[in-house]
């Protein structure tokens, strides 16, 4: 097969072609490595690419096939791995100076499961430092461009992963979603991205930002591929106490089924109005009409506490991060600054942290330290936890009447690089619609629903379902995808300047 044909295949098709011997894992891997070499200079999706290691993994898959071993659906399929997951054979930095060059002695559970599924890790993708941001501009190693328009942000924090998949540098990528860090980049890059139920995918080996919110999830160019990847790395992990000991919801089956007949769909009333781009709302409304035409029963639902979600999030996430990031102290690994034999340990710690952390990370550490301080705890962290409980109740109440909730994934399409770097509040608003699902821990997925007429950039539709009902988000996503593809006469991504 020609290289261009190979990278145009879906992950599911590519896996099948490898299993059937129409191509090999090595051939597929080499095609993607060539693509990375050709375009990543423009995109900067990767922080680290290891061609030799990738080809070696690919050869191992081909060897297993030659021995007659039964290969899984994604065996031999290349993947881009967010640099927040530890990898034994590659540096892991979370895009921070403080971890530059650190080589972990162990694999994250997600990494282990990717390897076990035969996925070929091409390299590690760029991100906002410690996953704090919505544009990937907070990376210590430079920004990533949106393949739809390289002057714009690819979303964040998993912007390297979304850009890699959108630029056809990989058919699949991993991400982590703490406040929208998978769904928002998926939306602005025209991809499918899922935030599984919290505890449905393991955090072991995921460098923590906010422990009660961080959730690993998949990026793909279509719903079925996302489901296959979701299934490959999810499921109970005894090394993560918050991991749920239950079977992975049947997401692949749901993605294949893709029907919404009789399904009750709720539109969240609070996610519209001021701050929402007209074209985003227009494409969202059209998509909801499509669902209705497919037999879904659409109603409007009110979740009043969602209005407080952003505020609660910006107390809880910084509080947890202020403690989680305390371990970066120059004593055992990573950067060490100012250790010239005259300085105390405290001074070396302070200098290292001053030099090693970027401004957004420092802002959140300071915010969180303040929110947890004695005398302020109840007013800030305490009230935020109460809001969190109210948000869960709003979800519970809504799910008594509807099967899924839908909203725009993000209020606007991709904004220009540099536009919001000096305005943290504007940056934080990008996650307005995605944060409630993190606070409540339930399942959510973003699926493309068209290009905004005013700027021709992708718009995402978010589907939210109850805890462990991830399969419903895939069912709705797949139904919408099929219907819209018919309307568009093909994949949305085919219209991107970086389409192959």
Partner 1 sequence: METETGSAAMGSAVTSGPATGGGSVLVDYDDALARYEPVLGLETHVELGTRSKMFCSCATAFGAEPNTQVCPVCLALPGSLPVVNGTAVESAVRLGLALNCSIASWCRFARKNYFYPDMPKNYQISQYDEPLCTNGHLDVTVDTPEGPREFRIEIERVHMEEDTGKTSHVGGATGRIHGAEYSIVDYNRAGIPLLEIVTKPIEHTGDLAPLVARAYVSELRDLVRALGISDVRMEEGSLRCDVNVSLMPRGGTEWGIRSETKNVNSLRSVERAVRYEIQRHAGVLDAGGRVVQETRHFQEHSGSTVSGRSKEEAQDYRYFPDPDLVPVAPSAEWVEELRAALPELPAAKRRRVKAEWGLSDEELRDLVNADAIDLVAATVEAGAPSGDARKWWLNELSRRATENEVELAALPITPAQVARVIALVAEGALTNKLARQVVEGVLAGEGDPDQVVEARGLAVVSDDSALGTAVDEAIAANPDVAEKIRGGKVAAAGALVGAVMKATRGQADAGRARQLILERLGAGG
Q: Is 24 a catalytic residue?
A: no
Choice from 32, 284, 313, 381 touching partner 1 (CB under 8 A): 381
Minimum distance between the CB of residue 101 and partner 1, rounded to whole angstroms? 11
- Interaction between residue 234 and partner 1 (CB under 8 A): no
Q: Residue 278 and residue 280: Cα distance in Å, rounded?
A: 5
Choice from 2, 52, 67, 241 touching partner 1 (CB under 8 A): 241
Choice from 32, 46, 204, 474 touching partner 1 (CB under 8 A): 204
- Interaction between residue 207 and partner 1 (CB under 8 A): yes
Residue 120 contacts residue 76 (beta carbons within 8 Å): yes
Which of the residues 181, 201, 243, 407 is marked catalytic?
181
Looking at residue 2, what DSSP letter applies?
Answer: -
- Interaction between residue 210 and partner 1 (CB under 8 A): yes
- Interaction between residue 339 and partner 1 (CB under 8 A): yes
Pick between residue 38 and residue 326 the one whose CB is nearest to partner 1: 326
Handedness of CA 474, 279, 421, 146 (dihedral sign): positive
- Interaction between residue 239 and partner 1 (CB under 8 A): yes
Which of the residues 157, 158, 243, 446 is marked catalytic?
157
- Interaction between residue 378 and partner 1 (CB under 8 A): no
Pick left, alpha or beta for residue 273 (phi over 0 → left; psi -120 to 50 → alpha; otherwise beta): left
* CA atoms within 13 A of residue 260's CA, in its CB half-sphere: 32
- Interaction between residue 333 and partner 1 (CB under 8 A): yes
Pick between residue 71 and residue 315 the one whose CB is nearest to partner 1: 315
Pick between residue 63 and residue 326 the one whose CB is nearest to partner 1: 326
Query: Of the ranges 184-192, 221-229, 289-297, 341-349, which one interacts with partner 1 (CB under 8 A)?
Result: 341-349
Q: Residue 174 and residue 228: Cα distance in Å, rounded?
A: 12
Pick between residue 57 and residue 322 the one whose CB is nearest to partner 1: 322
Residue 263 contacts residue 290 (beta carbons within 8 Å): no
Query: Of the ranges 103-111, 403-411, 434-442, 476-484, which one interacts with partner 1 (CB under 8 A)?
Result: 103-111
Choice from 81, 203, 283, 388 touching partner 1 (CB under 8 A): 203
Q: Is 157 a catalytic residue?
A: yes
Q: Residue 74 and residue 485: Cα distance in Å, rounded?
A: 24
Q: What angle do CA 322, 326, 327 make, to 5 degrees?
A: 145
- Interaction between residue 273 and partner 1 (CB under 8 A): no
Return the exposure string of 34-46: e unless at least 16 CB atoms fall within 10 Å of the residue's CB, then b.
Answer: ebbeebbeebbbb
- Cβ-Cβ contacts under 8 Å for 66 (sequence gap 6 or more): none
- Interaction between residue 377 and partner 1 (CB under 8 A): yes
Binding map of partner 1 across residues 166-185, x = CB under 8 A, - = no contact: --------------------
Handedness of CA 438, 439, 444, 450 (dihedral sign): negative
- Interaction between residue 102 and partner 1 (CB under 8 A): yes
- Interaction between residue 345 and partner 1 (CB under 8 A): yes
For the sheet with 46-49, list strands across it.
46-49, 120-125, 78-82, 172-177, 215-220, 192-195, 443-451, 458-465, 404-408, 264-268, 297-301
Strands 443-451 and 458-465, bridge-based pairing: antiparallel
- Interaction between residue 282 and partner 1 (CB under 8 A): no
- Interaction between residue 132 and partner 1 (CB under 8 A): no
Q: Kindly determine how many residues on this chain lie close enough to bind partner 1 according to the rule CB under 8 A.
A: 51
Beta partners for residue 485, in sequence order = none
Minimum distance between the CB of residue 106 and partner 1, rounded to whole angstroms? 5
Looking at residue 303, what DSSP letter applies?
Answer: -
Residue 324 contacts residue 291 (beta carbons within 8 Å): no
- Interaction between residue 99 and partner 1 (CB under 8 A): yes
- Interaction between residue 246 and partner 1 (CB under 8 A): no
- Interaction between residue 443 and partner 1 (CB under 8 A): no
CB atoms near residue 100 (< 10 Å): 15
Handedness of CA 142, 148, 152, 157 (dihedral sign): negative
Residue 193 contacts residue 175 (beta carbons within 8 Å): yes
Q: Is 181 a catalytic residue?
A: yes
- Interaction between residue 332 and partner 1 (CB under 8 A): yes
Q: Residue 207 and residue 325: Cα distance in Å, rounded?
A: 9
- Interaction between residue 344 and partner 1 (CB under 8 A): yes
- Interaction between residue 86 and partner 1 (CB under 8 A): yes
CB atoms near residue 373 (< 10 Å): 11
Minimum distance between the CB of residue 473 and partner 1, rounded to whole angstroms? 24
- What residues are annotated to the active site? 82, 157, 181
Residues at the contact surface with partner 1, assessed by CB under 8 A: 85-86, 92, 94, 99, 102, 104-106, 108, 203-208, 210-212, 238-242, 319-320, 322-323, 326-329, 331-333, 339, 341-349, 369, 372-374, 377, 381
């Amino acid at each position: 097969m020609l290289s261009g044909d190979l990278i145009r295949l879906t992950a599911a098709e590519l896996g099948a072609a490898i299993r059937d011997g129409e191509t090999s894992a090595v051939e597929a891997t080499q095609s993607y490595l060539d693509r990375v070499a050709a375009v990543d200079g423009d995109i900067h999706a990767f922080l680290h690419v290891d061609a030799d290691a990738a080809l070696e993994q690919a050869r191992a898959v081909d060897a297993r096939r030659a021995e007659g071993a039964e290969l899984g659906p994604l065996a031999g399929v290349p993947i881009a791995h967010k640099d927040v997951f530890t990898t034994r054979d590659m540096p892991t930095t979370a895009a921070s100076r403080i971890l530059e060059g650190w080589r972990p002695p162990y694999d994250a559970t997600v990494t282990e499961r990717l390897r076990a599924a035969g996925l070929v890790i091409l390299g590690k993708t760029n991100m906002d430092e410690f996953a704090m941001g919505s544009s990937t501009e907070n990376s210590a190693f430079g920004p990533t461009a949106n393949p739809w328009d390289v002057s714009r942000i690819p979303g964040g924090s998993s912007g390297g992963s979304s850009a890699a998949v959108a630029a056809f540098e990989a058919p699949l990528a991993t991400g982590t979603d703490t406040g929208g860090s998978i769904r928002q980049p998926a939306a602005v890059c025209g991809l499918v991205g899922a935030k599984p139920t919290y505890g449905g995918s393991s955090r072991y080996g995921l460098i923590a930002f906010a422990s009660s919110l961080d959730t690993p999830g998949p990026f793909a160019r279509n719903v079925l591929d996302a489901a296959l990847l979701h299934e490959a790395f999810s499921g109970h992990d005894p090394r993560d106490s918050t991991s749920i000991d239950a079977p992975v919801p049947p997401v692949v089956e749901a993605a294949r089924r893709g029907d919404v007949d009789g399904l009750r769909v709720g539109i969240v009333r609070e996610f519209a109005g001021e701050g929402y781009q007209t074209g985003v709302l227009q494409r969202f409304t059209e998509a909801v009409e499509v669902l209705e035409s497919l037999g879904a029963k659409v109603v409007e639902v009110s979740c009043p506490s969602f209005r407080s979600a952003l505020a609660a999030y910006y107390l809880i996430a910084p509080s947890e991060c202020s403690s989680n990031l305390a371990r970066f102290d120059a004593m055992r690994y990573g950067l060490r600054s100012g250790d010239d034999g005259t300085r105390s340990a405290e001074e070396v710690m302070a200098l290292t942290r001053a030099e090693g952390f970027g401004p957004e990370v420092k802002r959140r550490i300071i915010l969180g330290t303040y929110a947890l301080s004695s005398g302020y705890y109840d007013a800030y962290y305490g009230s935020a936890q109460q809001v969190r409980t109210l948000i869960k109740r709003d979800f519970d109440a809504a799910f008594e009447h509807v099967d899924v909730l839908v909203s725009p994934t993000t209020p606007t399409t991709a904004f220009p690089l540099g536009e919001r770097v000096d305005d943290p509040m504007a940056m934080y608003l990008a996650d307005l619609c995605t944060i409630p699902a993190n606070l409540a821990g339930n399942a959510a997925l973003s699926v493309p629903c068209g290009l905004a007429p005013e700027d021709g950039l992708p718009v995402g539709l978010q589907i939210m379902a109850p805890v462990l009902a991830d399969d419903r988000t895939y069912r709705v996503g797949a139904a919408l995808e099929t219907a819209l593809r018919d309307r568009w006469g093909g994949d949305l991504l085919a219209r991107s300047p970086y389409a192959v």
